[in-house]
Structure formats: C-alpha cells, structure tokens
Amino acid sequence: MSTEFYNTETDELFAKKKSTVKIEKGLKRLLIIAAVILTVQLIWLFGVSPFIPFSSVEIHGFSALHRAEILSLALLDENSSYISTNAKKIEGLLSGHILVESVAVNKHFPDKLSIHLKARTASAFALTNDNLKQAPIFIDRHGVFFKIGDGESLEENFPVISGIENPRLGMHLPAALIPLVENLSRIAETSPELLSAISEIKIERKTWDGYDLVLYPVHSSIKVRVENNLTEDMLRYTLLMLNVFENDINKPQEIDFRSGMGSYKIKERSL
C-alpha cells in the first residue's frame, strides 16, 4: 500500500513539473513573438515611416492663395517626407509672399504636415498708378504696401493716406510712420465709426525731422493738423472740436493740435 502511494505522488509531481515547463515555453514563445512584432513596428515607425511621403498635408490659409500655389511656393511635392522637409525653410519661403503676414509650419511624426498662413489685412490705403489709371494700394499694420485693388475692394472705414511719393507693391512706410498704421488698425477694431468720419490723412514731412498729419473730415471743411501720434482719444477729441466750430460764422480753415491745445486761423472773408 505504501509503495503505490509513493508512485502516485511521484507521478503527480512529474506531471505538474511537465505542465510548468510547457507554460514557461509557451510564455517564452509569446514574448519572442511580441518582441519581434515590437521590433518590426519600431523599425517601421522610426526607420521607414519618416522616409515615406506625407500621408497628409493640411493647409490653413486664405482664398487668395490656392493649395497648389502654396505647395509650389513651399517646394513640396508628392515625394516630400518627414525627414526631407525643413519646417523653418518652408516658413521662410512662404513668408516671402507679399500677401502673407505670418506662417507656421508643423511636422507631426511620422508622416503628417500642417501649414498655417495668416493673410495681411489692410489698415489704410494710398493711391497709385496702375495701368495708366489710379487705383488703391493697400497698407497693412506693419506698413507694407501689399495689394492693388479696385473700387469694389475698398472697405468703408479705410482712410486714404496721401503725401506718399510713388507708392508701389512691396514698399514699406518709413519706420516713423509705422505707429500711424498700427493705431489705425486698432481704431478700426475698437471704434470704426471714428475712421469713417475721416476721408483723408495727408502726411507732411517737417522741415527738419519727422512728420505732421493733416486730417480731412468727411462732413467738415475744416482741416485738422496733428503730430504723428494719432490715437483714438485724439481723434475723438478733434471730431468733437469740429462739431463745435462747424456752425460758427467765423469757423477756422484749420485747427492745429500739435501743441496739445487747439489753435486755429479764421477764414478771411471775401470782399
């Protein structure tokens, strides 16, 4: 009886050990297979995918530039890939287009590209000669003359900037006049009705240095002369002063605000 018990116990231990070995072998096989699959995926992800052409090129731009034109300017084609593409170089190429104010290019590993373009927007316009006729040329908040338009392109609140000699595409306003278009851009956003009350802003160079601005109101014959620091508060105050003088019999020809206080000259009566 004791011998039979001993053999049965031994058989059970042997069976358990054999089963454990099988499980361990199975786990080793699974680990080897998983390691091979992971290695292949890593090789594909890091060694192959970055070299294959982009699966997606997203472009967020504006209607003036079509997708094909943007890709051409960026020197992107059907063979462009994550590895072969230099995002900074593309930004430089696209920012060179006169209609583009800013550009951001992002590569998304391993095979996607996104391009975000911001268009220049007008803060004012000047008049230039285009094909032997006068046409508006638009100026953005950075002082860049970026587009020639027609009468239908004009925005209601744009003042015309005069006193600029021979304005042309690609030209920049002098650095001293950049604050002017920056301020006009801000006023157009916050109080567009103020700009719609001014038909023209004439730039006059001072004898020694700097510029004066001469404002021509829409509903008044009185000119307003100010320093080159046109702000919303200044514009609001000058328009208020115009309303005071407009119905005066002895209304002035011009109000001068360069000293900070309005001075003026009375129109001479004709005999």
The answer to whether the CB of 163 falls within 8 A of the CB of 204 is: yes
Whether this model's pTM surpasses 0.85: no
pLDDT of 134? 86
Give 247-259 as a DSSP string: T-TT-EEEEE-TT
For the chain, the domains span: 2-50, 52-119, 122-266
Q: Which two tokens stand for residue 222?
A: 């009185």
pLDDT of 53? 87
Residue range 115-135, pLDDT digits in tens: 999 999 999 999 998 777 888
Establish whether domains 52-119 and 122-266 are of one fold. no
- Superfamily of domain covering 52-119: membrane protein fhac (3.10.20.310)
Which CATH code fits 122-266?
A: 3.40.50
pLDDT of 37? 73
The pLDDT profile of the chain, 271 residues, written as one tens digit per residue, is 444 544 566 666 656 666 676 676 777 778 877 777 777 666 655 655 567 889 999 999 888 899 999 999 999 999 998 888 999 999 999 999 999 999 999 999 888 999 999 999 999 999 998 777 888 999 999 999 999 986 555 555 678 999 998 899 999 999 999 999 999 999 999 999 999 999 999 999 988 888 999 999 998 888 999 988 899 998 998 888 888 877 766 778 888 888 666 566 655 554 4
pLDDT of 27? 77
User: Please, which residues have CB within 8 angstroms of residue 212's CB and are 6 or more apart in sequence?
Assistant: 203, 204, 206, 225, 226, 227, 228, 258
Query: Across 16-88, where does the E strand assignment appear?
Result: 56-60
> What is the CA 53 to chain-centroid distance, rounded?
28
pLDDT of 43? 62
∠ CA 173-174-178 to the nearest 5 degrees? 70
- The whole-angstrom separation of Cα 148 and Cα 245 is 37
